[in-house]
Amino acid sequence: MTNPSPDAELAEALSTLRAHFEVPDVDAARQRELLAAFDQHWARPASFSGRLSWAISTASLVVVAVALNWMVVSSPGQAHREPAAEIVDLSGFVPWPGAAAWPPFESGALVRVNLPISELPSLGLTTPPSPAPVVQADVIVGQDGFARAVRLVQQ
């Protein structure tokens, strides 16, 4: 006993379905009218007003993106400080930059990672006197997957 192929089963199901429905007979003139209307609709070039609305929408999005970027860069809590003047206690956790804007911390996990030394100033940490290109750090990751605080591992 051989199993019919899925194509044969589909063809049989479609022919059974076709037998249950009566398809109205459409004359050739009506078909030509419908095809001509379809072609006319889709062959129509884009109007100037349509292109203008796309240009205005794109320009608006660019303005909003630039404004949001400017707000983030120039926010009052982000005062620019010299790294040499900054004293950070390496034994304690330092808040992750921008973590205050995220949802409240409910639960999390402590994850040990290797951080490149070049990234430490952007996290508010001073670089330790070490010839290694990376240092170990503990990162507290919140329930939402965002980092909340970081500290360097004392070795």
The alpha carbon dihedral of 74, 78, 79, 82 has a sign of: negative
pLDDT for position 84: 46
Cβ contact 136:150 at 8 Å: no
What Å distances lie between residue 55 and 58, 59, 61, CA to CA? Answer: 5, 6, 10
Q: How do residues 10-62 score in pLDDT, each as one tens digit?
A: 999 888 888 888 767 778 888 889 889 888 887 766 666 667 788 888 888 88
Three-class SS state of 128: coil
| Among 114, 124, 126, 127, CA closest to 149 | 124
Specify the pTM. 0.40
Q: Which of 30-34, 51-55, 71-75, 125-129 has the highest mean pLDDT?
A: 30-34
| Residues 26, 24: Cα–Cα separation, whole Å | 6
Give residue limits of the domains in the chain: 6-70, 83-152
Q: Considering only residues 78 and 100, tell me which one the structure prediction assigns the higher pLDDT.
A: 100
**Cα Rg, the chain, nearest whole Å:** 32
Average pLDDT over residues 149-154: 84
